[in-house]
């Protein structure tokens, strides 16, 4: 399949810093350049203050450990075009460029390294295991550098880390499972690297709010545990995932806001349980191999603003249940095998909804597939669905507010939600 051009909403999601990154500014009143904060962070950001004496020249043992960690890392940095590490000299690590200090406990004057922000520094080199000495670290932002290698296993000592941004680097190897041992981590950004292999089931039973996996080399099926994830944003785009969309996907429920599956090798039918995603705003299924008719439960996606199902093998009529969705701002169904439009879909232009239906098999519409392609398509009746009325589907959305934890997912029948399965 041809690689897609990135849509505007994807650009906004993939290239802008997630809103959680604002925590750096909120937590530390100093700006870029390593300004110390003596007032502390409300509630603390982890760790306990040791009573051991600090070595000569250091304000505390924590800062001595930070000095050791940063000097070890500096020795592993092989390229520094902006001279960031030229400032990493002397015992006052709080003055190092990109390093932020704060007091771990309210009312304490003792400082520790709480954040590292080296975004867009174009640093080359590797991550070193001694970085785990920064046990009070809350934020580690390394977006847009040239780091290679893998993530050290010692990173499981980052018990206070809430945000880890390794995006736009050259990391390799399997999914860095060490991140699953970080109890405070809620923001994980691995996009635009060369990570590969299958995803661990535990990824979606962790407490992440944002998971960015796009533009790597991940493969295999998406784990069934996806339905257990509390995340509000997940991007699977531009990898090599294959197999069916997990039937448990819908059991992410009202928590999820944006999910991107675009440009993988996913197949099969869209599960009926997708209607449980009542508050989802952006759903991109484009550039895969999905097929069959759209499920009736699409009518329950009352919060959806951007829906992209282009470049698949969907067929049948583009139904009213999709075009009636009142929050829609952009609907893309291009390059499928749809053979007709419902009446409501014909009115989308009057609602100022962006609607792309090119490359289908709809009589009387311009820019459609040539008749031989449409006549030769045989995939229109490969989804057998358990019938259910629309009120039951949408009522079930409110009933499933909490997802059972575990790696096996949830049985849709336990909640009265219609299921779907491919025909033999």
| Token pair for 401 | 């507010």
State the CB neighbour count (10 A cutoff) for residue 11: 11
- Cβ proximity of 355 and 306 under 8 Å: no
pLDDT at position 54, please? 72
Q: Are residues 387 and 298 both part of a single domain?
A: yes
Asked if residue 169 belongs to a domain, the reply is: yes
State the CB neighbour count (10 A cutoff) for residue 416: 13
Q: Are residues 269 and 184 both part of a single domain?
A: no
pLDDT exceeds 50 at position 90: yes
Q: Are residues 88 and 188 both part of a single domain?
A: yes
pLDDT at position 381, please? 54
Asked if residue 190 belongs to a domain, the reply is: yes
Three-state DSSP at 300 gives: helix
Q: Average pLDDT for residues 179-204, to the nearest whole number?
A: 98
Three-state DSSP at 354 gives: strand
Q: Are residues 288 and 412 both part of a single domain?
A: yes
CATH number of the domain residue 72 falls in = 3.80.10.10
- Rounded to whole angstroms, the Cα distance separating 158 from 172 reads 21
Asked if residue 7 belongs to a domain, the reply is: no
Q: Break the chain down into helix, strand, coil percent, rounded to 5.
A: 25, 20, 50
- Rounded to whole angstroms, the Cα distance separating 189 from 412 reads 30
Q: Average pLDDT for residues 136-155, to the nearest whole number?
A: 98
pLDDT at position 58, please? 83
Whole-number Cα distances in Å, 145 to 118, 169, 191: 8, 5, 12
Q: Are residues 290 and 392 both part of a single domain?
A: yes
Of 253, 269, 353, 367, give the one whose Cα is nearest residue 309: 269
Q: Are residues 182 and 305 both part of a single domain?
A: no
Asked if residue 419 belongs to a domain, the reply is: yes
Q: Average pLDDT for residues 80-108, to the nearest whole number?
A: 92
Q: Average pLDDT for residues 287-310, to the nearest whole number?
A: 95
Q: Are residues 151 and 300 both part of a single domain?
A: no
- Rounded to whole angstroms, the Cα distance separating 45 from 272 reads 42
pLDDT at position 334, please? 98
pLDDT exceeds 90 at position 23: no
- Cβ proximity of 360 and 337 under 8 Å: yes
C-alpha neighbours within 13 Å on the C-beta side of residue 110: 19
- Rounded to whole angstroms, the Cα distance separating 208 from 182 reads 10
Give pLDDT tens digits for 367-424. Answer: 999 999 999 887 655 676 555 444 444 655 445 433 333 333 333 333 333 333 333 3
Q: How high does pLDDT run on average in the chain?
A: 82
What percent of the chain shows pLDDT beyond 90?
A: 69
Q: Are residues 192 and 264 both part of a single domain?
A: no
Q: Average pLDDT for residues 19-30, to the nearest whole number?
A: 36
The DSSP output letter for 373 is H
Residues 6+ apart with CB under 8 A from 244: 221, 266, 267, 268, 269, 422
Q: Are residues 275 and 406 both part of a single domain?
A: yes
Q: Are residues 190 and 267 both part of a single domain?
A: no
State the CB neighbour count (10 A cutoff) for residue 332: 20
pLDDT at position 376, please? 84
Asked if residue 250 belongs to a domain, the reply is: no
Range of the domain at 124: 33-197
Give pLDDT tens digits for 331-344. Answer: 999 999 999 999 99
Give pLDDT tens digits for 251-284. Answer: 998 899 999 999 999 999 999 999 999 999 999 9
Asked if residue 416 belongs to a domain, the reply is: yes
The DSSP output letter for 36 is B
pLDDT exceeds 60 at position 95: yes
Residues 6+ apart with CB under 8 A from 283: 258, 259, 277, 301, 304, 306, 307, 308
| Token pair for 69 | 């960690």
Of the residues 197, 219, 242, the one at which a domain ends = 197
Give pLDDT tens digits for 40-67. Answer: 333 333 344 345 677 878 888 999 999 9
Q: Are residues 264 and 400 both part of a single domain?
A: yes
CATH number of the domain residue 395 falls in = 3.80.10
Asked if residue 210 belongs to a domain, the reply is: no
Of the residues 197, 218, 237, the one at which a domain ends = 197
Q: Are residues 177 and 282 both part of a single domain?
A: no
Of 208, 218, 213, give the one whose Cα is nearest residue 183: 208
pLDDT exceeds 80 at position 109: no
Across the chain, which distance is largest between two alpha carbons, in Å?
83
- Rounded to whole angstroms, the Cα distance separating 254 from 396 reads 11
- Per the structure, how many domains does the chain have? 2
Asked if residue 188 belongs to a domain, the reply is: yes
Of the residues 197, 225, 243, the one at which a domain ends = 197
Output 349 or 115, whichever has higher pLDDT: 115
- The model carries a pTM of 0.81
């Amino acid at each position: 399949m041809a690689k897609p051009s990135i849509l505007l909403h994807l650009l906004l999601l993939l290239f802008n810093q997630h809103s959680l990154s604002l925590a750096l500014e909120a937590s530390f009143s100093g700006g870029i350049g390593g300004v110390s904060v003596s007032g502390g962070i409300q509630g603390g950001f982890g760790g306990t203050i040791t009573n051991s004496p600090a070595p000569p020249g250091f304000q505390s043992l924590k800062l001595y450990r930070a000095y050791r960690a940063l000097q070890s890392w500096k020795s592993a940095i092989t390229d520094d075009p902006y001279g960031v590490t030229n400032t990493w000299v002397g015992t006052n690590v709080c003055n190092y460029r990109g390093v932020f200090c704060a007091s771990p406990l309210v009312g304490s004057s003792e400082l520790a390294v709480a954040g590292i922000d080296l975004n867009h520094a174009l640093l080359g080199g590797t991550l070193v295991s001694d970085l785990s000495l920064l046990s009070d670290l809350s934020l580690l932002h390394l977006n847009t550098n040239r780091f290679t290698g893998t993530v050290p296993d010692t990173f499981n000592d980052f018990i206070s880390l809430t945000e880890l941004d390794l995006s736009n680097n050259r990391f390799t190897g399997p999914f860095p499972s060490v991140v699953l041992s970080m109890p405070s981590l809620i923001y994980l950004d691995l996009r635009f690297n060369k990570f590969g292999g299958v995803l661990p089931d535990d990824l979606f039973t962790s407490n992440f709010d944002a998971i960015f996996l796009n533009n790597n080399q991940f493969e295999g099926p998406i784990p069934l545990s996806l339905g257990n994830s509390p995340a509000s944003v997940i991007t699977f785009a531009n990898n090599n995932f294959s197999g069916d969309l997990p039937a448990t996907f819908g059991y992410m429920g009202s928590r999820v806001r944006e999910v991107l599956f675009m440009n993988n090798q996913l197949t099969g039918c869209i599960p009926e349980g997708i209607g449980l995603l009542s508050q989802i705003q952006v759903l991109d299924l484009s550039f895969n191999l999905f097929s069959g008719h759209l499920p009736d439960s699409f009518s329950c996606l009352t919060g959806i603003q951007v829906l992209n199902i282009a470049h698949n093998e969907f067929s049948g009529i583009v139904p009213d249940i999709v075009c009636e969705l009142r929050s829609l701002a952009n609907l893309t169904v291009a390059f499928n095998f749809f053979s007709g439009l419902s009446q409501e879909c014909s009115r989308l232009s009057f609602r100022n909804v962006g609607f792309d239906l090119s490359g289908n098999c709809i009589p009387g519409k311009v820019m459609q597939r040539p008749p031989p392609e449409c006549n030769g398509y045989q995939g229109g009746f490969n989804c057998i669905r358990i019938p259910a009325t629309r009120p039951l589907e949408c009522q079930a959305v409110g009933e499933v507010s909490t997802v059972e934890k575990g790696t096996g997912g949830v049985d849709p029948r336990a909640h009265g939600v219609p299921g779907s399965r491919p025909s033999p």
